[in-house]
Amino acid sequence: MKFILRYIREHLGILLAQLLFSGIFAAAFYLYRLPLAAVLYPAGICMLLGSILAAGPVYKAYRKHKKLSGLKFLSRDVLAGALLEYREITDEDYRQIILKLQGEMQSREERMQDSYREMTDYFTVWVHQIKTPIASMHLCLEAEDTKLARRLTSDLLHIEQYVEMVLTYFRLGMETTDYVFRTVSLDKVVKENIRRLRGDFIIKKLNLQYTPLEETAVSDEKWLSFVVEQVLSNALKYTGEGTVSIFLEEPKTLCISDTGIGIAPEDIPRIFERGYTGNNGRMDKRASGIGLYLCKQICGRLGIGISVSSEVDAGTTVRLDLSRKDEAVEAPPVQAFSRQHL
């Protein structure tokens, strides 16, 4: 019905012209004092015949409309070929326009892909090159055990984390990633990250409450370790004094809790958005809004549930739900990541 009304509106000029012509004939007959029936009767017959003859073009237009409506679901490569069946002059013109636009779009996509590939290659090389001086500085600082050396070691570790985040961000944008699923000891992953971040615990004089987990999970150890390190680093970053706790909840949920500044209730729904930093980020100008975003994306690929509960000035708890079947997980499509805490 909508199509019929729209078709009538588009051809309203023809209908009005026919009524105008009939009116002119009626006026001429009236002025010559001829019977109006002599005009109205043939005009009615003409309108009836015109309606019958118009039924064919209307039906043809309706079929064409339905087919064209279905073309929007076709891929770009199939679209131009699907238009070949329409042989009207304007149809061919439209097809040529679509082909031209497709060519321009393909060229633009190729340029964008080349640009992205060059950028990815550059940053990948940069990340690997920057790791050399970082490792050298670590070796130099290991020979000293002073307050300044501990502070520099902590800052250097944060630089290394940010460098690793860059590489992780680009890896997640690739079509393939090096996932290796196997049974992973959660205690091993957690202890390694505690050891890496021990300098921050010492400098900030924070307590660590760590209950041995004595649990395993089927996951990729490298990517899971990245998530744990980011969450633990955020806990240390936003806790001025008090305690960082690591424990296990049922069923197989790794919890990292702190007594820090917490997250505002209005920020919690958005903390996993890329680039979102919330109130904490506005107070800390170094926050990038990338850390939790990355964690969310990686957890999605690993089949891990991640959630956050928090109370302002009371602390934050991040939960990693590892209660998944011990089977290989197919990684879903990717994007890039965020958390307000970073």
The string of DSSP letters for 300-323 reads HHHT-EEEEEEETTTEEEEEEE--
**CA 295 to chain CA centroid, nearest Å:** 14
Whether 69 and 184 share a structural domain: no
- In sequence order, what E strands does 119-219 have? 182-185, 207-210, 216-219
Cβ burial of 271 (10 Å; 0-12, 13-18, 19+) is buried
pLDDT of residue 215: 92
pLDDT of residue 285: 52
pLDDT of residue 75: 65
Query: Considering 26, 49, 73, which residue would you say is the last residue of a domain?
Result: 73
- Asked whether residue 262 is assigned to any structural domain, the reply reads yes
Whether 60 and 189 share a structural domain: no
- Asked whether residue 303 is assigned to any structural domain, the reply reads yes
- Asked whether residue 42 is assigned to any structural domain, the reply reads yes
CA terminus-to-terminus distance, the chain: 56
CATH of the domain at 191: 3.30.565.10
Q: Comparing 153 with 335, which gets the higher pLDDT?
A: 153
Q: Comparing 16 with 37, which gets the higher pLDDT?
A: 16
User: Mean pLDDT highest for which of 84-88, 147-151, 173-177?
Assistant: 147-151
- Asked whether residue 23 is assigned to any structural domain, the reply reads yes
Q: Comparing 72 with 223, which gets the higher pLDDT?
A: 223
Whether 192 and 312 share a structural domain: yes
Nearest CA-CA partner of 193 in 140, 235, 151: 235
- Asked whether residue 327 is assigned to any structural domain, the reply reads no
Whether 187 and 315 share a structural domain: yes
The residues, any chain, with a CB within 8 Å of residue 290's CB and separated by 6 or more, are 165, 169, 274, 275, 336, 337, 338, 339, 342
- The average pLDDT across 265-288 equals 75
Beta strand 207-210 with 243-249 is parallel
Query: Considering 51, 73, 95, which residue would you say is the last residue of a domain?
Result: 73
Residue type, 202: I
Split at pLDDT 50, 70, 90, the class of 236 is: very high
pLDDT of residue 143: 77
- In sequence order, what E strands does the chain have? 182-185, 207-210, 216-219, 243-249, 253-258, 305-311, 315-321
User: What does the pLDDT look like over 17-71, one tens digit per residue?
Assistant: 877 887 887 788 778 777 777 777 777 787 788 778 777 777 777 777 777 776 6
Whether 183 and 69 share a structural domain: no
Whether 63 and 183 share a structural domain: no
pLDDT of residue 330: 42
Beta strand 315-321 with 305-311 is antiparallel
- The average pLDDT across 71-75 equals 65
Q: Comparing 166 with 250, which gets the higher pLDDT?
A: 250
Query: Considering 49, 73, 97, which residue would you say is the last residue of a domain?
Result: 73
pLDDT of residue 71: 67
- Asked whether residue 158 is assigned to any structural domain, the reply reads no
* Cα distances (Å, whole numbers) of residue 257 to 187, 228, 234, 314, 336: 16, 12, 10, 10, 25
- Asked whether residue 307 is assigned to any structural domain, the reply reads yes
User: What does the pLDDT look like over 162-180, one tens digit per residue?
Assistant: 888 777 777 776 655 667 8
The domain total for the chain is 2
3 pLDDT higher than 80: no
Mean pLDDT score across all residues of the chain: 79
Split at pLDDT 50, 70, 90, the class of 185 is: very high
- Asked whether residue 209 is assigned to any structural domain, the reply reads yes
Residue type, 276: Y
Split at pLDDT 50, 70, 90, the class of 322 is: very high
Q: Which range marks the domain in which residue 65 is found?
A: 2-73
- The average pLDDT across 78-99 equals 66
